[in-house]
């Protein structure tokens, strides 16, 4: 399903941090406000550098040392701000996805049609948004299977916002009578998210575009819906 024209999101929702001068030295007696400003500037540099590297080299192919060099800061400065590479990726994706989730929160309650159609529209919006930086999103997915990630990291699946949006869609379906009230909604959410992540193999292996991945996801949503729709 192709998302409605007014629902297709672009990267303009998330403006990249502007380039900054080399990391300045902070005097020991610098005012707290100046130190906070410099710390935020360093954080922005690290996030922008990491976003570019994860998008071109992947999660496993990027090191903290490379992020620091690309950002023009010391390795120590990176670790002062982030506990691990996983935390850096989590923040990169949180900043990137905030605009997407905010827009979905706005439009999802107003979408018409059956639950299946609303789910198809929602995932079509996702594919349309993520295809612009597919490698970055693949890094986000890959991090979910890194067993060394610290508990503070938020790879795909651990962030509850997408699960909540899907859950609200299913709850609306229960109220409208096209989702069985006895179905285990968390299992449905898990199946949908698993299907969504697995569809991205087509981008990794075959360089599939958003319409191609959306078409596959539409069919998989129909199969999953057969398990949550009321029996006639």
SS3 156: coil
* 71-76 long-range contacts, CB within 8 A, separation 24+: 71/23, 71/42, 71/45, 71/46, 72/20, 72/22, 72/23, 72/45, 73/23, 73/42, 73/45, 73/46, 74/23
- Of the listed ranges 18-22, 25-29, 225-229, the least confidently predicted one is 18-22
- Predicted pLDDT of residue 14: 43
Provide mean pLDDT across the span 219-226: 98
Q: Would you list the domain boundaries of the chain?
A: 17-86, 100-228
pLDDT digits (tens, 9 = 90+) for 36-56: 788 889 999 999 999 999 999
Taking alpha carbons only, the member of 120, 88, 85 closest to residue 222 is 120
- Joined together, the tokens standing for residue 231 give 């029996």
How much is the pLDDT for 148? 87
Domains 17-86 and 100-228 share a fold: no
Higher-pLDDT residue of 118 and 106 is 118
Task: Find the mean pLDDT for residues 138-145.
Answer: 90
Query: What is the second-level CATH architecture of the domain 17-86?
Result: Orthogonal Bundle (1.10)
Predicted TM-score (pTM) of this structure = 0.81
Residue 101 has pLDDT above 60, yes or no: yes
Q: What is the token pair recorded at 214? A: 């959306």
* pLDDT score recorded for residue 158: 87
Tokens of 116: 């299946």
Count CB atoms within 10 A of the CB of residue 52: 18
Q: How confident is the model at residue 103 (pLDDT cuts 50, 70, 90)?
A: confident
pLDDT at residue 152, as a whole number: 86
4 falls in which pLDDT band (50, 70, 90)? Answer: low
Q: How many whole angstroms separate alpha carbon 164 and alpha carbon 149?
A: 23
Q: For 100-228, CATH number?
A: 1.10.357.10
């Amino acid at each position: 399903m192709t998302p409605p024209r007014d629902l297709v999101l672009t990267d303009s929702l998330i403006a990249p941090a502007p380039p900054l001068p080399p990391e300045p030295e902070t005097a020991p007696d610098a005012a707290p406000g100046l130190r906070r400003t410099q710390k935020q500037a360093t954080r922005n540099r690290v996030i922008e550098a990491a976003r570019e590297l994860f998008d071109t080299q992947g999660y496993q192919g990027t090191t903290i040392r490379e992020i620091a060099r690309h950002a023009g800061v010391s390795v120590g400065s990176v670790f002062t701000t982030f506990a691990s590479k996983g935390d850096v990726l989590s923040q990169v994706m949180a900043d990137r996805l905030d605009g997407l989730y905010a827009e979905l929160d706005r439009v999802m309650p107003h979408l018409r049609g059956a639950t299946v159609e609303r789910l198809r529209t929602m995932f079509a919006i996702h594919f349309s948004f993520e295809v612009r930086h597919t490698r970055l999103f693949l890094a986000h997915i890959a991090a979910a299977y890194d067993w060394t990630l610290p508990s503070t990291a938020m790879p795909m699946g651990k962030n509850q916002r997408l699960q909540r949006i899907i859950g609200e869609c299913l709850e609306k379906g229960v109220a409208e009578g096209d989702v069985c009230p006895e179905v285990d909604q968390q299992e449905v959410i898990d199946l949908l998210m698993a299907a969504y992540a697995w569809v991205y193999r087509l981008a990794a292996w075959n360089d599939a575009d958003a319409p191609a991945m959306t078409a596959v996801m539409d069919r998989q949503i129909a199969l999953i819906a057969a398990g949550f729709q009321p029996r006639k």
